[in-house]
């Protein structure tokens, strides 16, 4: 590589790094002021994904949100969704790049929740009540979602409406999750099921065969 090309290449990389720093959304930037709450140390990386409904979104202190992450409330910008928050992300979380969190009724993500890239979390889905109407034209149905503190969601996991994950749960990459799972669950599969559990009495065990010595 010629000297001129190396100089140009280095300048481009420095400029892009500066753009990423300047483009991040933080409590101190104008974009941060749109949120219902955005805590100290929060950073939403540049470039962001689709972000709207900020007045109904709370993000706890020191949470990091990767680039191209979409976080939204409602079908489209500018909707009146009431007087309370709809999407709540706790403190110390890390949301992987390319993920989507789409709230319409209620999504609660606890503290210290980490996700891999391209995770999808939603509290709304289309129904299939009438087999003669295109599914995309049938009115969607909402059901709240809750993800317990300390949980880890693997790359490409999908969290569907009506899901409740307890504390310190692991969701395997690519799992499609619906339902209620207790604390310390390992959840995997399509559809997802609980494949491991933990209790002080039994330690880690197969929930179908609760006695690890059997």
pLDDT tens digits in sequence order for the chain, 214 residues long: 688 888 878 888 888 788 888 889 999 999 999 999 999 999 999 999 999 999 999 999 999 999 999 999 998 888 888 889 999 999 999 999 999 999 999 999 999 999 999 999 999 998 999 999 999 899 999 999 999 999 999 999 999 999 999 999 999 999 999 999 999 999 999 999 999 999 888 889 888 754 444 3
Residues 6 or more apart whose Cβ sits within 8 Å of residue 107: 86, 87, 88, 101, 121, 122, 123, 144, 145, 146
Q: What share of the chain is helix, strand, coil (3-state, %, to 5)?
A: 15, 30, 55
Residues 6 or more apart whose Cβ sits within 8 Å of residue 157: 115, 116, 119, 120, 171, 172, 173, 174, 175, 176, 177
Residue 196: per-residue pLDDT: 95
Instruction: Single out the residue of 148, 146, 149 nearest to residue 159, CA to CA.
Output: 146
Q: How far apart are CA 109 and CA 37, in angstroms?
A: 14
- Assess whether 126 carries a catalytic annotation: yes
Q: How far apart are CA 17 and CA 189, in angstroms?
A: 39
Residue 212: per-residue pLDDT: 43
Q: Which residue of the set 62, 83, 104, 126 is catalytic? A: 126
For the chain, the distance separating the N- and C-terminal CA atoms, rounded to the nearest angstrom, is 64
Q: How far apart are CA 34 and CA 56, in angstroms?
A: 10
Residues 6 or more apart whose Cβ sits within 8 Å of residue 117: 66, 96, 97, 98, 99, 155, 156
Q: How far apart are CA 21 and CA 72, in angstroms?
A: 22
């Amino acid at each position: 590589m010629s000297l001129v090309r190396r100089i140009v290449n280095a300048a481009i990389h420095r400029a892009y790094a500066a753009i990423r720093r300047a483009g991040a959304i933080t409590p101190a930037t104008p974009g941060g002021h749109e949120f219902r709450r955005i805590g100290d140390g929060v950073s939403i990386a540049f470039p962001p994904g689709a972000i709207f409904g900020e007045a109904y979104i709370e993000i706890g202190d020191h949470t990091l949100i990767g680039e191209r992450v979409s976080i939204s409330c409602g079908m489209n910008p500018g909707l009146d969704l009431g007087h309370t928050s709809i999407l709540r992300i706790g403190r110390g979380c890390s949301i992987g790049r390319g993920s989507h969190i789409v709230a319409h009724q209620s999504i609660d993500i606890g503290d210290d929740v980490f996700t891999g890239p391209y995770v999808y979390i939603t509290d709304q889905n289309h129904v299939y009540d009438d087999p003669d109407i295109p599914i995309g034209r049938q009115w969607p149905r909402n059901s709240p979602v809750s993800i317990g503190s300390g949980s880890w969601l693997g790359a490409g996991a999908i969290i569907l409406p009506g899901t409740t994950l307890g504390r310190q749960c692991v969701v395997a990459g690519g799992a499609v999750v619906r339902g209620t799972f207790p604390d310390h669950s390992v959840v995997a599969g399509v559809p997802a099921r609980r494949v491991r559990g933990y209790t002080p009495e039994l330690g880690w065990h197969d929930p179908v065969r609760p006695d690890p010595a059997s």
